[in-house]
Amino acid sequence: MTILVGYKRTPEGQAALGHGLEAASSTGAPLAIFPLADRDEAADLREDAALNAAIEAGATLLQSTRGGGHPAEELLDTAAEHDVALIVIGVRNRSRVSKLLLGSDAQSIILGATAPVLTVKVASDDR
């Protein structure tokens, strides 16, 4: 079964991608990457060295349908569609006020996923 990484071009996204690659390598499972980028950021992903290295290693880059849906919901729909074994996402610390005002994609994914979710924090020396 597939391992799905929710990827965004951030240190958190790159940490999630790294752990997804390790999990796929150790289990032999295929790796799929779901871009959590906005349409404007999607073009930047083509120039993303970490993402391109993962694709060259055999990962599949999925396309976001982005019919105006919420990124977390689209990732969960994709996970259900592909019957994934594991979802890997990067997380970062945010204030309670920020979470209240902006919501938390990570929280939505953790609470809404039917597959196990591995959350990855960025090592302090990666920031």
Q: Per-residue pLDDT for 2 more than 90?
A: yes
- In three-state form (DSSP H/G/I as H, E/B as E, the rest C), the secondary structure along the chain is CCEEEEECCCHHHHHHHHHHHHHHHHHCCCEEEEECCCHHHHHHHCCCHHHHHHHHCCCEECCCCCCCCCHHHHHHHHHHHHCCCEEEEEECCCCHHHHHHHCCHHHHHHHHCCCCEEEEECCHHHC
Q: With a cut of 70, say whether residue 112 has pLDDT above it.
A: yes
Q: Binning pLDDT at 50, 70 and 90, where does residue 70 land?
A: confident
Centroid of chain to Cα 119:
10
pLDDT tens digits, one per residue of 29-69: 999 999 987 666 666 777 889 999 999 999 999 987 656 67
pLDDT of residue 41: 65
Q: 78-111, pLDDT tens digit by residue?
A: 999 999 999 999 988 777 666 665 567 888 899 9
